[in-house]
Structure 1
């Protein structure tokens, strides 16, 4: 212990004597360790930390699917059968999301609502912070209208009023009693404003072919494994297939651990980012190791004297390792401060794919990670300089560094190998960033099928309490579009149920005249219900036939428009016009074919499903009351959709003072939001790649500067013997370029192997894209030449007389 304290004091004293080295080393490591700690805090919070529920490992997530569509929500009757017939679960709950209009207040507001069974909170092991949970009597059709508030909404709208329980809120025109407030730290999937009982808020259509966004959460019984629970549910599913062959023939339930389902969309991106910052840290450590090697060369006399006084090699190695550990710990401490700031930045920029239930910050696990990382880096970056520094030759060192010949080959080779390594790592990062950048650019340039510039989108609702029947609903939508279309600065407006990029419902169809499909094998089409002028307002191009228009009335022949994928897939002979499609026991004639639009997002993650458009004016009377939430598209007269937002708000306030508009934003913003997760990953990878490039450039510059300083005598001799400046310039730059070329060569092989792991993040570009590889290699070569040129200029200015004075 005394020896360690003595080594520690000596290390601090030596570092104080070399403030330039200490500052450079600590700052370099702080960048690498800080970036690693920040990203690890996210990985820890999202992937490693257990969910904040009781015994979270027992919680499972339930959905259902078919071979054609493997991920579907639960049909209501199927959910009830899974709940009632399965034997593997201690508790079973369901939930779905909707919206509700809060009225009777100064400013009407569209609230995000979660419809949850009374068993959901007990299944999660959560108690309300105020009041109580729903009762079984309230969670049934016709149950008392009650509501729970999420903490954030209670705080924002009611100032955390402690007397909120028992108050009445008017939701969609109906009074609801507040029975509870959820805890402040409680999170469950995406944040909502209010919770309402599930059974009393299910859609009227509950047939097994209807999947209304309902999902299940169930807690395993003690001793029951996930595999056993899956087998149990599959048994129920097979029984339902026999009982309902026409509605359930190919559907089966799917079960997974709740935590795995929450993080599956973002897991790959986070692990990619963790690998990227690990590469940055390695490059930073290599730079510091190079600094230590260079510093070790200047300390050979000191180390030789200590060896002559009896210090053994192990003593010298221990001393040098303590110095490197101190540097690494100082870098880790500063890096932790940088990480605290970085976590705040990452938290504010978190994409939607990161579940809200995952909170990330610097906790004990992150602190332990930073400590272990710092000590590990200290050991790794110190071991080579320590071993080299301890191999001192007393006689050679005592002569003085100025009288030495060229530096030892082993030291030169060590520094060169380290530079080659950091160039290779930098190339891997830069190639990854380049591939992601090309993907992002291509996605932005993809044709989404409509014109987003100058287009405004919003959501409105027509609750049954104010619009009870089909006639009032039609009148309201017609009045809204007419008023908006005639407003100043507006070119056109249209309503729809479903909106490109925001999604729409899916419906089973069949082609009249073709063989009846087997149960469960009927094609599913994305079903847009659209008002007059929808295609013109959206800017969706007509390919064949005509748009839906004023001639399509409730009494005229039923028609529809389909997209090009629908026409190509169902009618490969190219004759879609005039064909008849059966949907919900109705036959409709195809009168037009339009461009395919992006439905749920941009890129290949969503299959290019077939799409159909039905006129709202021809929707059967029984279906119209089922469509009460509408998307509205408003086309500005100019290119600036934001400019007409005040106009749209004013027109709606005049038309319907109780209308609470939601998601009022330009469509260009919706397009960018659909790229949110990829944009988040891209920006971070770009940042780390840029940092790697700078560090690699600094590494080459420092090695070449040191080499020039050590070879001053050699340069002088060369110039004294007739070498010209450009000869010396070529010598130094050539050395640096050769190091970079070797690093590029190794880096290309490493990148070729590793970038394949980016497959799920890439779109429209190969993981081995030769253009990206070539551009990155050329760019790194240019950086190497520039980093070598700066010290080479100093070598050219060497005075042969001065450099030979040592002789």
Structure 2
């Protein structure tokens, strides 16, 4: 311990004597250690730390798998059959997002709600903080519930946070509901991006075959594996039989709940951490080179210490202590940078998961930062430490101080620079692929024009608007009033607007086909008004748009998209063909009267699916999205929407008001943030690699000053000296770029899942990066080479 304290004091004195070196190396290490710690905090929160529920590893998401849909929602009869016969699950619960209109207050409000089976919170393992949980009788068969649970946030924000909340009445969708409990403050449901306000129990109708709307969460029975549970549900599928006559039996898909919740972020986080790991290695090589130069300049001091009895291990320890102390200094600065970096990384992660797994500077992250700092110090300090401990003492004692430095060249310095160049090239290639991918996403034609469109969501109360005539009168009335506004170009409404995060679909039957499962097809269902296609500028390719002639009494019609025609009609004639939706004898055949262009409905990167549009007048729904195309500012259009809704029904809440361009921007938010972070890491890597090349050549020139002077005194032209130094740098560059290209070819194949519209091996990107890095390296070589060629021979010959 005494020797360690002595080495620590010596290291502190040495580092404080060279504040420029200490600060430069410390800031370099701070950037890379801080970035690694930020990414670790995200990975720890999302992927490594268990969900904050009892026995989270046993929580599993369950889907049914149909012929056309791999992750389909579950029908009530299937859920009931699984619950009754399954042995692999101790419990299974259903849930589904919805929204409710809260009235009876000064201003109507839309509340975010989830309909659940009464055993849902028992499955999750959460008990109300106040009141009680749901009971089976809270969801009466064939009836509507009168009980609700509220979140802690809703209790505080909307209900005053009083202790008498249990028993309080809420008027939701025109019906009175009694609050039976309040959920804990720390509970948040991570399935949805928005926090849930109200939880409503729902009865499962055993006759609703084919009505797939339930999401299912289960808890594995003790000792049951995921695969065993899946096999058990497959067995249950044999017991409960076919969901509908003529329909093939559904299979089952299972996935751990945490794996499901983090699926969209996992690849991005690992890719970013790999990128920042590359930058860390480059920084280590850079600082190792700096430390190696310092060690070479102090070789005579080290030789004197050895001559006075310092063992090889003691000299190794002294060098490593200095490296680790420098790295810990960088680590402290890096933790301060983390506070800024955490905000950047939050944009990459789903808001739903951040509520249950917040990014924070906790003990685990600080411990990781400390270990990383020590490990980094040992990594970049090993090369100079081994050099210092293994030097030959007697020759060094016989030499003068300058001679020591002049003959202290070390091939490891060149190797470290080649490593930096190779790693920088891999990172630049990966960044180039991600940038190209983002450009391809931004260039995607979504099939609609979002500029100038504002949107708002409306959900009518079921009691107040039970009759179809009232639904038509409400939405048609708002559309007419908005069209009378100056600057409004078009008004339309649809149940599922593009990029809204929701959708619905089902089977349909082509007229003239056989009644066999092979003739059953799957399409996305949309209910739209006249004016919707105009408001979104979705082109009508064949036939016509919906119009005022399409009423509840007119012939049933339908409009399909081009993907529907390609997939189900072989690209042939669509107009006049007839389809029946829902595979029900009660549904009429509908004639195709139009074909519209494809729309990217779910995401910008997924191809358009077959879609069918039914006129609102013939199939009115309660929940619709209003879309207004205007020539004026968005704020004025949103205000007009509010005013007209209030004029038609002052008790009707309106929500999700926003310009439609914000939906598109939201889709691009995460890929843009990922690209910016990768680009920042790549720039830092290139700068570090360039500094490394410059440092090696500058030091090499200082070592060879006398040699170069002799060459010039004997007649060598300055251009020859320039070429001599440049040749050394170009050999380093060629080796580093060559190794980097080979490594990049292997590494980019792992990125295939995160790319869009670009292959992992894009020759133009590989070549462009190699040329760019070579040019940067050439500039770094040019400066010391130019300085060497301009030193007068008389000065060079006196350099001893």
**Equivalent pair of 1:506/1:525 in contact (CA under 8 Å):** yes
User: 1:600 and 2:602 equivalent?
Assistant: yes
How far off its partner does 1:114 sit? 1.2
2:631 aligns with 637
User: 1:477 and 2:475 equivalent?
Assistant: yes
CA shift in 2, pair 1:330/1:493, >3 Å: same
Alpha-carbon displacement from aligned partner over 1:341-385 (angstroms, at most 9, x marks no partner): 322442366345856432232333323322222222122111111
User: 1:305 and 2:291 equivalent?
Assistant: no
1:698 aligns with 691
2:453 to 448, 452, 455: 455
1:599-748 aligned within 5 A:
599-604=601-606, 608-619=608-619, 624=620, 627-637=621-631, 641-748=634-741
How far off its partner does 1:86 sit? 1.4
**Equivalent pair of 1:95/1:216 in contact (CA under 8 Å):** yes
CA shift in 2, pair 1:147/1:643, >3 Å: same
Mapped partners of 1:400, 1:540: distance in 2: 83
1:330 aligns with 329
1:475-514 aligned within 5 A:
475-502=473-500, 503-514=502-513
Alpha-carbon displacement from aligned partner over 1:267-325 (angstroms, at most 9, x marks no partner): 12111112111111111111110111111111111111111112222221111111111
1:286 aligns with 285
2:368 aligns with 369
SS in 2 for 1:52: coil
SS in 1 for 2:338: helix
SS in 2 for 1:448: coil
Mapped partners of 1:714, 1:581: distance in 2: 89
2:436 aligns with 438
Mapped partners of 2:598, 2:144: distance in 1: 43
CA shift in 2, pair 1:159/1:432, >3 Å: farther
CA shift in 2, pair 1:176/1:482, >3 Å: same
2:264 aligns with 265
1:548 aligns with 546
**Equivalent pair of 1:118/1:135 in contact (CA under 8 Å):** yes
**Equivalent pair of 1:266/1:354 in contact (CA under 8 Å):** no
1:136-151 aligned within 5 A:
136-141=136-141, 142=143, 144-151=145-152
**Equivalent pair of 1:560/1:613 in contact (CA under 8 Å):** yes
Alpha-carbon displacement from aligned partner over 1:739-798 (angstroms, at most 9, x marks no partner): 223222111111111111111111110010111112211221222122223333433442
1:533 aligns with 531
CA shift in 2, pair 1:575/1:248, >3 Å: closer
Mapped partners of 1:738, 1:159: distance in 2: 73
1:55 aligns with 55
Alpha-carbon displacement from aligned partner over 1:513-533 (angstroms, at most 9, x marks no partner): 1223317x6211111111111
1:98 aligns with 98
CA shift in 2, pair 1:528/1:153, >3 Å: same
**Equivalent pair of 2:247/2:517 in contact (CA under 8 Å):** no
Mapped partners of 1:304, 1:729: distance in 2: 35
CA shift in 2, pair 1:401/1:662, >3 Å: farther
1:584-599 aligned within 5 A:
584=582, 585-599=587-601
**TM-score with structure 1 setting the length:** 0.93
Mapped partners of 2:783, 2:109: distance in 1: 63
How far off its partner does 1:113 sit? 0.8
How far off its partner does 1:235 sit? 0.9
SS in 1 for 2:391: coil
Alpha-carbon displacement from aligned partner over 1:684-707 (angstroms, at most 9, x marks no partner): 222222221222222222223322
**Equivalent pair of 2:189/2:352 in contact (CA under 8 Å):** no
1:403-422 aligned within 5 A:
403=403, 406-409=406-409, 411=410, 413-422=411-420
How far off its partner does 1:338 sit? 1.9
2:517 aligns with 518
1:133 aligns with 133
Q: Flag structure 2 segments of 5+ consecutive residues without an equivalent.
A: none
Mapped partners of 2:416, 2:571: distance in 1: 63
1:464 aligns with 462
CA shift in 2, pair 1:721/1:404, >3 Å: farther
**Equivalent pair of 2:134/2:201 in contact (CA under 8 Å):** no
SS in 2 for 1:90: strand
How far off its partner does 1:95 sit? 1.0
CA shift in 2, pair 1:511/1:414, >3 Å: same
**Equivalent pair of 2:721/2:788 in contact (CA under 8 Å):** yes
1:389 aligns with 388
**Equivalent pair of 1:652/1:659 in contact (CA under 8 Å):** yes
CA shift in 2, pair 1:176/1:477, >3 Å: same
1:722-801 aligned within 5 A:
722-801=715-794
**Equivalent pair of 1:241/1:249 in contact (CA under 8 Å):** no
Mapped partners of 2:292, 2:722: distance in 1: 25
1:199 to 199, 202, 210: 202
1:216 aligns with 216
**Equivalent pair of 1:562/1:613 in contact (CA under 8 Å):** yes
Mapped partners of 1:533, 1:40: distance in 2: 50
Alpha-carbon displacement from aligned partner over 1:657-690 (angstroms, at most 9, x marks no partner): 2222222222221112223443333232222222
Q: Which moves more between the two structures, 384-393 or 488-497?
A: 384-393
**Equivalent pair of 1:352/1:677 in contact (CA under 8 Å):** no
**Equivalent pair of 2:706/2:798 in contact (CA under 8 Å):** no
Q: Flag structure 1 segments of 5+ consecutive residues without an equivalent.
A: none
How far off its partner does 1:642 sit? 4.7
Alpha-carbon displacement from aligned partner over 1:430-487 (angstroms, at most 9, x marks no partner): 1111111111111111111111111222211111232221110000010011112222
How far off its partner does 1:149 sit? 2.1
1:248-263 aligned within 5 A:
249-263=248-262
Alpha-carbon displacement from aligned partner over 1:173-202 (angstroms, at most 9, x marks no partner): 2222222222222122224332333315x7
Q: Which moves more between the two structures, 4-13 or 585-594?
A: 4-13
Aligned residues: 791
Q: Which moves more between the two structures, 554-563 or 714-723?
A: 714-723
**TM-score with structure 2 setting the length:** 0.94
1:165 aligns with 166
Mapped partners of 2:25, 2:706: distance in 1: 28
**Equivalent pair of 2:113/2:200 in contact (CA under 8 Å):** no
**Equivalent pair of 1:209/1:248 in contact (CA under 8 Å):** no
Q: Which moves more between the two structures, 55-64 or 284-293?
A: 55-64
**Equivalent pair of 2:77/2:206 in contact (CA under 8 Å):** no
Q: Which moves more between the two structures, 538-547 or 393-402?
A: 393-402
Mapped partners of 1:796, 1:129: distance in 2: 79
SS in 2 for 1:586: coil
How far off its partner does 1:565 sit? 1.0
How far off its partner does 1:406 sit? 4.7
1:71 aligns with 71
Mapped partners of 1:747, 1:667: distance in 2: 44
Mapped partners of 1:559, 1:246: distance in 2: 26
SS in 1 for 2:198: strand
1:237 aligns with 237
**Equivalent pair of 1:353/1:677 in contact (CA under 8 Å):** no
CA shift in 2, pair 1:173/1:731, >3 Å: farther
**Equivalent pair of 1:561/1:613 in contact (CA under 8 Å):** yes
Mapped partners of 1:495, 1:573: distance in 2: 28
2:228 aligns with 228
Mapped partners of 2:145, 2:774: distance in 1: 72
SS in 2 for 1:523: strand
Alpha-carbon displacement from aligned partner over 1:192-248 (angstroms, at most 9, x marks no partner): 332333315x7x896221211x12222223233333322221111122335x45275
RMSD after superposition: 2.3
